[in-house]
Amino acid sequence: MIEKILAEYDLNKEELALESINNGLINQTWHIRGADKDYILQKINTNIFKKPEIIANNIRLIADYLMQKHPEYLFVAPIKTLLNKEMAYLENNGHFRLFPFIQNSHSINAVQNTKQAYEAAKAFGKFTKLLADFPAEKLGTPLPDFHNLSLRYHQFELSLESGNQVRIDQSTELISFIKSQRELVDIYEVILKNPAFKQRVTHHDTKISNILFNKEEDGLCVIDLDTVMPGYYISDVGDMIRTYTSFANEEEKDFSKINLRAEYFTAIQSGYLSEMGDVLSEEEKKYFTYAGKFMIYMQAIRFLTDHINNDIYYGARYENHNFVRAGNQCVLLQQLIAMEATIF
């Protein structure tokens, strides 16, 4: 099957070495090594991304804009097929994309020092900044309501009515913690009505593995652009706070290892604002810490809702996997709330 996909790009599988990279929860990715060039091949999960052509179109619009306005900026757009298509489609198998592999770059799966956090935050900030004058409304929405916290909360409430009752009964503590933080939804709703908050071109998946670094650990570029769409900066900053401040990540089962480190928070802030400082309004900047709470809370809700709905979205590699992930995120949220007073 992969042979057929590669043939659409005039590549011969016999001459290449394929290695699967498993770092995302959603798409499948391979590193392809050729004699003189490397590539990244990705299969789009169309159960989640139901309209992959929206993604392809968004990326092309952005690539064309950046090429014209900021030709020096490194932006990794997909390679077109021999037939000049953005994706290769294989009947009964799905949509695939091929990217050039950026030489001398590497990605990491966990943040090990504050420089990496700073560099990543700067790279995501730069991406949004360079697209500040791009008409964001031209972009399609690959995942409608992706970071709509009100809707996520509503879906959580629905799961409590129609989900797996055994799991609901076992989750009472987490459920009541989530409910106790409902105010975070109210703040989100205030933001929606606040004219000082602008919809910008945001990445919506700012985990560290979505940055390419060079040997000196400078951030080279942002990757994984499936969820690029108009949104609020709190999505991007919030997911960095969620995923960079604690060394133990969302998979950690031993919650005593979750440790929100203030210096990583500060690194994210200075990195992001080094690019976006002049772009964001003062009013928007006031929500920097809220951004972290917003994203951690949303992720906790998503994991718990999925657990109650029998893991239909994220899947589970072991019994109660999404329950553990939800609990993990609730601990992180508690730590951010506790630390809030000391950060500023």
Taking CB within 5 to 8 Å according to partner kind, which of ligand GN1, Mg ion, none is near residue 140? none
Footprint on this chain of ligand GN1 (rule: CB under 6 A): 24-26, 48, 205, 227, 250, 299
Give, as ranges, the residues between 165 and 204 that touch Mg ion (CB under 5 A). Answer: none
Taking CB within 5 to 8 Å according to partner kind, which of ligand GN1, Mg ion, none is near residue 48? ligand GN1
Tokens of 74: 């490194």
H or E stretch at 95: strand 94-100
Cβ neighbours of residue 128 closer than 8 Å, sequence gap 6 or more? 200, 201, 202, 203, 233, 236, 275, 276, 279
Beta bridge partners of residue 95, listed in sequence order:
89
Residue 2 buriedness (CB in 10 A; 0-12 / 13-18 / 19+): middle
182-186 CB contacts, 8 Å cutoff, 24+ apart: 182/153, 184/149, 184/290, 184/293, 184/294, 184/297, 185/149, 185/150, 185/153
Give the Cα separation of 135 and 133 in Å (integer): 6
Cβ neighbours of residue 170 closer than 8 Å, sequence gap 6 or more? 323
250 counts as binding Mg ion under rule CB under 5 A = no
Taking CB within 5 to 8 Å according to partner kind, which of Mg ion, ligand GN1, none is near residue 236? none
Of 190-198, 223-231, 278-286, 291-299, the window that binds Mg ion (rule: CB under 5 A) is: 223-231
Give the Cα separation of 180 and 160 in Å (integer): 15
Q: Of the two residues 37 and 50, which places its CB atom closer to Mg ion in the complex?
A: 50
Minimum distance from CB of 47 to ligand GN1 (Å)? 10
Q: Which residue is nearest to ligand GN1 (CB)?
A: 26
Of 23-31, 64-72, 89-97, 105-113, the window that binds Mg ion (rule: CB under 5 A) is: 23-31
Minimum distance from CB of 257 to ligand GN1 (Å)? 17
Place of tokens 């090429």: 67
**CA quadruple 197, 201, 202, 208: dihedral sign:** negative
Number of residues that bind Mg ion (CB under 5 A): 3
Minimum distance from CB of 162 to ligand GN1 (Å)? 21
Q: Which of 8, 119, 205, 306 binds Mg ion (CB under 5 A)?
A: 205
Minimum distance from CB of 36 to ligand GN1 (Å)? 30
Minimum distance from CB of 227 to Mg ion (Å)? 6
Site residues for Mg ion per CB under 5 A: 24, 205, 224
